[in-house]
Structure 1
Amino acid sequence: MFTLMEALKSLAPWFTAAVVVLLGPVVKDLIPTAVSNYLFSIYQDYFFPQFTVINIEEYGDFTRDQIYEAATTYLRKKINDSPKPKRFRCRKTIKQNKPICDIAREEEVIDNFGDIRLKWKLREEGTGNQPHLQTLPAKKFFELTFDKRFEKDVVESYLPHVLDRAEEIQREEKVIKLYSLECNLGMPVTTGQWGSTILEHPATFDKLAMSPKLKRSLKDDLDRFVNRKEWYKKVGRAWKRGYLIYGPPGTGKSTLIAAMANHLKFDIYFFDISNITSDSMLRNILLSSSNGSMIVIEDIDCAQLEKRGEEKKDSYYEFTLSGLLNVMDGLWSSCGDERIIVFTTNHKDLLDRLDPALFRPGRIDMHVPMSYCTMDAFKMLASTYLDVNEDHRLYGQIEGLFANAEVTPAEIAEEFSRTEDPDAALKAVVEVLKKKTKLENATDIPYSEKRLHFSSCRYIRNEKS
């Protein structure tokens, strides 16, 4: 129910219009000019309002604009929760639970914020054809139109509301994505062109087959990192953290990365560092990743990086150690928040040929060894695969065999996946460990036949040598 004052307030513009239109010619000479101009301005603003237009472009100088991303999420929710516009875009991948609807180009979406009526429209602007140059993609931008009287309210209140609401929606509907670089056949990637798929890896810290002490230490370190935004700001450091995960193939490095991403709800950006050909290429790639993400660089030991002072400045390949260090903790590292950089390697001993500066604290903050299977890790695997949660009669024999045999968690998991009978599975593991023990203790077998897990880069180096 309207109160009397609210009713009178709502009728004020109509009363003003009646005074201006009907009585204006009669009383024109009887009222001061200032009062007359004021009445006419009210009449014009109410019945013939002037509009302000704000363009929100998709990309800023280097990265995707935060307001553009927030508007995309915000309007997607508006489309789903309110009457649909005449046209909208709808898509769904196999892994998505439901279709995603977005605003279509040149279609309007109306939003109301208090007394403000706002109109959103997605538009594109062509860059034109440039002879002898590669055609650039069209520029996308949102066109936001509203009454100019509310310009201050829109800038200071509405846009922050869009940002906050988009952040809430993203938290509610967070789907972890795995990004990889897209490139055309025969064409190098020079900018951050990421393709993505939904990461549905079920790994969690509770199920990881690794040392309980190391697992707890790593999990605590991640939790401390994401909760210290103000601390990083106070001490003047970029909000990032670096990890080196190392160990033989099959020890669970990739599973650990998936568990970290699931724990933090972080997207994963993966790329092969051997495909990087220049410092600017690496910089553009990393800057195009989003905040709250993990950047994974596998097989860092395969990187062709000269030590400082040995870099060939006249080399055709301009990807240098200095460029990588600058991205990790130089000025460029501050162009983004809440980022985790993960290096992996199968052969930590080969890292000695790289500059120690790459692994100092501040760049690599925590070293995470992934070892061969221990008894604690074995019990975790037995619990996960076979539902064996208590000591088994074969555990004593298995623990003794672990002292003389090196077997990876992946090899144990493979044996467990062959049968659901705990006794049969554990007996199979005993036989595997016995064979491993004989192989390790044999003196007439070449060392190269004892170690079957070699990365491709190490194999190539051995062949060349």
Structure 2
Amino acid sequence: MEASVWSGLNSGVVLSLVAVLWTVVWQNLQHLQLQQFFGRHLSRHARRLAAMVDPYLSVTIAEYEGGRMKRSDAYEEVKAYLSTACSRGVRHLRAEGAKDTDKLVLSMVDGEEVADEFQGATVWWWAYSRPPPRTDGAAPWWGGGGGAQEERRFYRLFFLERHRELVLDTYLPRVRRLGRAVMVKNRQRKLFTNISTHQWSEDGFARSAWSHVVFEHPKTFDTLAMDLARKKEIMDDLDMFKNGKDYYARVGKAWKRGYLLYGPPGTGKSAMVAAMANYLDYDIYDIELTSVHSNTDLRKLFIETTSKSIIVIEDIDCSLDLTGARKKKKKAAEDDKVKKDGAADEKKDTSSKVTLSGLLNFIDGLWSACGGERIIVFTTNHVEKLDPALIRRGRMDKHIEMSYCSFEAFKFLAKIYLDVESHDLFDAVGELLREVDMTLADVAENLTPKSVDDGADSCLSALVTALEEAKEKKASGGNEQDEQDEEDQ
């Protein structure tokens, strides 16, 4: 009996050892396969159990998409849609200016929740934000990783699983559609200017590259002094662009158009931009190129512009070295960074490194197709100084010369400023305008009453006097030049 006991014990030990060895071998051979199998098996049961315990699904809509490169249209549309719904049941609201200066656009602050009804289903919207993860690295311009950046904002939609198809296929598209309608109704047009590149993250917080004010410029095509035929030509071109989404898609071009406005100072180039913006109901983004550090930063500026906008670079011939000459910088200019006592190594290089190539890619490169319905406008006083590659058709599609005041433009200004359509002095003004060049700004200034006693007679007399003085100056200048030429000979 004793032997049988030991025999039984030995058999048990052997079996145990075999079991342990088999377990080790099994784990070594099929560890990953088993984990995957049981993981999938348990995951399925976990999901079923979660559905029984929590029957709600959620959809999260973030403020930015593509990292922080582009603001989400869906987020803005949901925000606009909820601006009409949230005021009913939300206790804490955020207010922003609306198109009507007496009204406000309301939105939920973080942590608030609002219910919405649709075809018998109840859904819940929750607004929240979260701070980005902090690391010791420097924040890149797109806001991913790096140091502390601005908090991320979100909307999260909760709904019952049985309403999945209704919410995803019908309710959410309706929200976006109605949100766009609210945005159009409440939209305040804005004038943007770019912030210096080095201020985007100077205190560790990544910010938008743009700041803005409400755009309230009064200039329209109705008050723009220009030949009526040319004015109509420009307005027709703008109409074709605004309504050309299908055309641009059909021919395979980005939905954008370039305008080059050129002419002497004071001929109304900035006024033309304002009239275009008012006619199209577009925002304006005014880029100061000297504040842009690199081509990469220029792309970021473009990405952060919205559709239905005019992107303007004024006096582009003065902004950077973008002329046809494009000579290499002298070594002496580069030596401005010479180190002094080792301190210069730590200073930021704030000079602009935007190149002609970078600007060309900004206008019609791959990045220019990010978004649509944008107009790019360059203004210059010296079109002959610009590189031909910069202003060729396809980049600057329409060239508009803003010239000196013509007689037709003068009559338009006289009607606007003095409310007169004919006068004894009109013939004198017309004859003088054919002999001397005077800008629209100078003509308008002479037609502006200087006191309550000034009327059409005094203002037109002042204009004739100014034109005669300009004629005499031109003549004396020509005589002096002739005398100089004779002396040189």
Higher Rg of the two aligned structures: 2
Once the two structures are superposed, the pairs formed by residues 100-111 of structure 1 within 5 Å of their partners are 100-111=105-116
Once the two structures are superposed, the pairs formed by residues 424-463 of structure 1 within 5 Å of their partners are 424-443=458-477
* Cα pair distance change 1:95/1:346, threshold 3 Å: farther
Partner of 1:230: 246
Contact 1:240-1:337 at 8 Å conserved across structures: yes
Q: 1: CA distance between counterparts of 2:424 and 2:162?
A: 80
Q: 1: CA distance between counterparts of 2:432 and 2:410?
A: 12
Q: Percent identity?
A: 37
* Cα pair distance change 1:375/1:268, threshold 3 Å: same
Deviations 1:142-186 (A, max 9, x none): 111111222222222222212211222222233211011234887
Partner of 2:408: 376
2:399 to 367, 375, 383: 367
Contact 2:110-2:129 at 8 Å conserved across structures: yes
Number of corresponding residues: 396
* Cα pair distance change 1:444/1:381, threshold 3 Å: closer
Contact 2:188-2:214 at 8 Å conserved across structures: yes
Deviations 1:224-271 (A, max 9, x none): 011111111111111100000111221111111111001101000111
Deviations 1:113-135 (A, max 9, x none): 22221211211111133235342
1:136 to 146, 149, 155: 149
TM-score normalised by L of structure 1:
0.79
Partner AA of 2:245 in structure 1: K
Q: 2: CA distance between counterparts of 1:311 and 1:123?
A: 52
Once the two structures are superposed, the pairs formed by residues 36-435 of structure 1 within 5 Å of their partners are 50-61=55-66, 62-80=69-87, 83-92=88-97, 96-131=101-136, 133=138, 134-183=147-196, 192-302=208-318, 303-305=320-322, 318-351=353-386, 354=387, 356-388=388-420, 390-419=421-450, 421-435=455-469
* Cα pair distance change 1:183/1:99, threshold 3 Å: farther
TM-score normalised by L of structure 2:
0.75
C-alpha root-mean-square deviation of aligned residues, in Å?
Answer: 2.8
* Cα pair distance change 1:373/1:50, threshold 3 Å: same
Secondary structure of 1:112's aligned partner: strand
Contact 1:307-1:321 at 8 Å conserved across structures: no
Partner AA of 1:347 in structure 2: H
Deviations 1:367-399 (A, max 9, x none): 0111111111111111111111x2211100000
Deviates more, 1:199-208 or 1:157-166: 157-166
Partner AA of 1:305 in structure 2: L
Q: 2: CA distance between counterparts of 1:129 and 1:343?
A: 41
Secondary structure of 1:391's aligned partner: coil
Q: 2: CA distance between counterparts of 1:441 and 1:73?
A: 63
> 1:112 Cα shift?
1.7
Q: 1: CA distance between counterparts of 2:430 and 2:354?
A: 47
* Cα pair distance change 1:308/1:401, threshold 3 Å: closer
Deviations 1:397-425 (A, max 9, x none): 00001012211111122222234511111
Q: 1: CA distance between counterparts of 2:355 and 2:328?
A: 7
Once the two structures are superposed, the pairs formed by residues 17-36 of structure 1 within 5 Å of their partners are none
Q: 2: CA distance between counterparts of 1:446 and 1:50?
A: 92
> 1:98 Cα shift?
2.5
* Cα pair distance change 1:397/1:301, threshold 3 Å: same
Q: 1: CA distance between counterparts of 2:322 and 2:275?
A: 30
* Cα pair distance change 1:436/1:271, threshold 3 Å: same
Secondary structure of 1:403's aligned partner: helix
Partner of 1:452: none
Partner AA of 1:139 in structure 2: R
Q: 2: CA distance between counterparts of 1:70 and 1:408?
A: 45
Q: 1: CA distance between counterparts of 2:385 and 2:430?
A: 31
Contact 1:405-1:433 at 8 Å conserved across structures: yes
Contact 1:273-1:298 at 8 Å conserved across structures: no
